Structure 1
Amino acid sequence: MIRVLFVCLGNICRSPMAEAILRQKAAERGLSDQVHIESAGTGHWHVGQPPHEGTINILADNEIDASGLSARQVVEEDLDSFDIVVALDAENLGFLQTLRKQGQEVEVVRLLDYSDREESDVPDPYFTGNFQEVYDMVDEACASLLEEVENEWL
C-alpha cells in the first residue's frame, strides 16, 4: 500500500480538496485498496473541523464525496508513516522539510510538480475565494500524481 499525505496551511481548503479528489480518482481506477490518502495542515487553528464551505461546495459541484474529512495538524511521525507527502505551496514545503529527519525515505514534493502549469504553488482559496481555480489546478495535478503512483510505486 502506498500512503499519500497532502499538506496545506489549515487543512480546510486545499489539502482536503486534494485528498477527496485523489481518493475518487483512485477508486475510479480500482486502486482504493492500494493507495491510502489523507490530508493535514501545518497550523492547528482548524483541528477537528470539516472542510471550508467553499471546498465542500466545489467538491459537491463535481460529484466528489467529501464525507469523513476533518482537519488535523501534520506531525513529525507522518514523515515516517507516509511514502509521499505533497505540499500545496512553497511555505508548506519548507515547513515539511524542517520536520524531515536525515535518513527518512519519504518523498516530499509540491503538488504542482505534477502539473504543466507555470505556477508552482496552489493559491489558498481561504484568502482568494477562488475555489474553482484551485479545484482545476488540484484536479489536474492529482491525475498526474496518481499516474506516477500507479506507474512507479504499484
Structure 2
Amino acid sequence: MEKQKILFVCLGNICRSPMAEYVFRHQTAQLGLSDRLTVASAGTSGWHNGENMHQGTLKKLKQQGIDPMGFTSSQVQTGDADTYDYIIAMDDNNLAELERLFGRQPDKIFKLTDLIPESGYTYVPDPWHTGNFDETFRLVSAGSQALLEKLTSVK
C-alpha cells in the first residue's frame, strides 16, 4: 500500500470529523499501518477554528480507549485537494461544499456512508443536533473500517 493522506470533513470540525480522524488513526495504529497513512480533519465552516473537539466527542473517544489529545479545529483549505488523496464528507451539505471548492471528484471526494451502504444511512448524523454520540461513533467506526479495507485492498 502506498502512503495515503485522508481528510475527514464536517461542518464545524468539532464533532463528526474529529471523531472520524481519531477513530481512523486508532484503527490504523492497531493494524500497524500508522506509517502508511496521514489522517486529519477539517470543517467547511470556520466557526470553531482553534477550538478543541466537542465534549461529547471527547467523552466518547475516551470511553472507547482512544486518546483524544492534540486536536485543534480548522477549516478546509484551498490546497487540500492537492494535499489529500481522499477527502471524506460526513453529509450531503459537506459534500456539496467540497465539490464547490474542488470540483466533482467521486473517486477522491465522497461521503463516509458511501462506504457502508448496509448501514441504512446516507450521511453521518450530527451529534451537535441529535445528541447521539453513540450512533455517530458506530457509523464512524464502521465507515473507517470500510475505508481501511478499501485502502489496503488497493494494489
Structure 2 length normalisation: TM-score?
Answer: 0.94
Residue 76 of structure 2 aligns to a residue whose secondary structure is: coil
Match of 1:81 in 2: 83
- Measured on the aligned residues, the alpha-carbon RMSD in Å equals 1.5
Q: Note if contact 1:14-1:124 (Cα within 8 Å) is conserved in structure 2.
A: yes
Residue 113 of structure 1 aligns to a residue whose secondary structure is: helix
Aligned partners of 2:96, 2:4: CA distance in 1, in Å? 23
Match of 1:40 in 2: 42
How many correspondences in the alignment?
Answer: 152
Aligned partners of 2:36, 2:138: CA distance in 1, in Å? 25
Give the % identical residues.
Answer: 41
Q: Note if contact 1:80-1:106 (Cα within 8 Å) is conserved in structure 2.
A: no
**Within the alignment, does 1:6 sit opposite 2:8 as a pair?**
yes
**Within the alignment, does 1:113 sit opposite 2:106 as a pair?**
no
Among residues 88, 92, 95, which one is paired with 2:97 in the alignment?
Answer: 95
Q: Note if contact 1:83-1:105 (Cα within 8 Å) is conserved in structure 2.
A: no
Aligned partners of 1:33, 1:48: CA distance in 2, in Å? 26
Q: CA deviation at 1:105?
A: 9.5
Match of 1:138 in 2: 140
Letter in 1 for 2:125: P
Aligned partners of 1:14, 1:132: CA distance in 2, in Å? 11
State the Cα deviation string for residues 60-97 of structure 1 (Å, max 9, x = none).
00001111111000011001100000000000000000
Aligned partners of 2:11, 2:31: CA distance in 1, in Å? 29
**1:27-66 map, 5 Å:** 27-66=29-68
Q: CA deviation at 1:48?
A: 0.6
Q: CA deviation at 1:120?
A: 0.6
Letter in 1 for 2:108: E
Q: CA distance change for structure 1 residues 100 and 106 in 2, over 3 Å: closer, same or farther? A: farther
Aligned partners of 1:68, 1:143: CA distance in 2, in Å? 23
Regions of 4+ moved over 4 Å: none
Aligned partners of 1:85, 1:105: CA distance in 2, in Å? 10
Q: CA deviation at 1:118?
A: 1.4
Match of 1:129 in 2: 131
